């Protein structure tokens, strides 16, 4: 009977040991799986944050570009008004042309010299049309904006002049 009890105790101990080993193995697997899930979740969260930061950065860059473009347009518009005033001061209007209008488009080089002049809507008076072309030429060189985008915008000017 003592031997049976001993064998039973050994079997119980062995079973207990086996169960403990299985439990430890299961716990290790569960821990590894939890660790893997946490790593995957952390990676997903990190990727999400990076994507949000990238989108915010792109949006900011886009807003800055739009603002810069707006500022360039404003600078160019101011430069074009200055060009028109310079032309009006240099314009020698032929007598008898008062009230007539002439529309003209002229392009400038980066240095402000005149590249081309095109009458887009004639006044019907050749002398008046010629006088505005002469005033545009006489007013050159034009002071070009230092900002490259504004300068590019200011290179082409379309304007209508009314003889006074």
Q: What is the pLDDT of residues 42-74, one digit of tens each?
A: 999 999 999 999 999 999 999 999 999 999 999
Question: To which residue do tokens 């969260």 refer?
Answer: 45
**Other Cβ atoms within 10 Å of 138 Cβ, number:** 14
Average pLDDT value for residue range 5-32 = 93
Picking from 2, 3, 9, 154, the residue whose alpha carbon sits closest to that of residue 83 is: 154
Q: What is the pLDDT of residue 1?
A: 83
Domains, the chain, ranges and CATH? Answer: 2-162 (3.30.1150.10)
Output DSSP code: residue 119.
E
Q: What is the pLDDT of residue 5?
A: 87
Q: What is the pLDDT of residue 4?
A: 87
Q: What is the pLDDT of residue 3?
A: 87
pLDDT at 2 over 90: no
Q: What is the pLDDT of residues 87-143, one digit of tens each?
A: 999 999 999 999 999 999 999 999 999 999 999 999 999 999 999 999 999 999 999
Average pLDDT value for residue range 76-91 = 96
pLDDT at 84 over 90: yes
């Amino acid at each position: 009977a003592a031997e049976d009890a001993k064998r039973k105790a050994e079997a119980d101990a062995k079973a207990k040991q086996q169960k403990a080993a299985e439990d430890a193995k299961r716990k290790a697997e569960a821990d590894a799986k939890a660790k893997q899930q946490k790593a995957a979740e952390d990676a997903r969260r990190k990727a999400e944050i990076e994507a949000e930061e990238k989108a915010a950065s792109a949006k900011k860059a886009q807003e800055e570009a739009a603002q810069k473009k707006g500022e360039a347009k404003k600078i160019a518009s101011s430069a074009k008004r200055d060009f028109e005033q310079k032309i009006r001061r240099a314009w020698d209007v032929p007598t008898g042309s008062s009230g007539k209008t002439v529309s003209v488009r002229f392009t400038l080089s980066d240095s402000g010299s005149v590249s081309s002049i095109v009458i887009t809507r004639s006044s019907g008076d050749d002398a008046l049309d010629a006088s505005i072309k002469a005033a545009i030429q006489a007013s050159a060189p034009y002071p070009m904006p230092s900002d490259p985008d504004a300068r590019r915008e200011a290179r082409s000017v379309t304007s209508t002049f009314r003889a006074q």
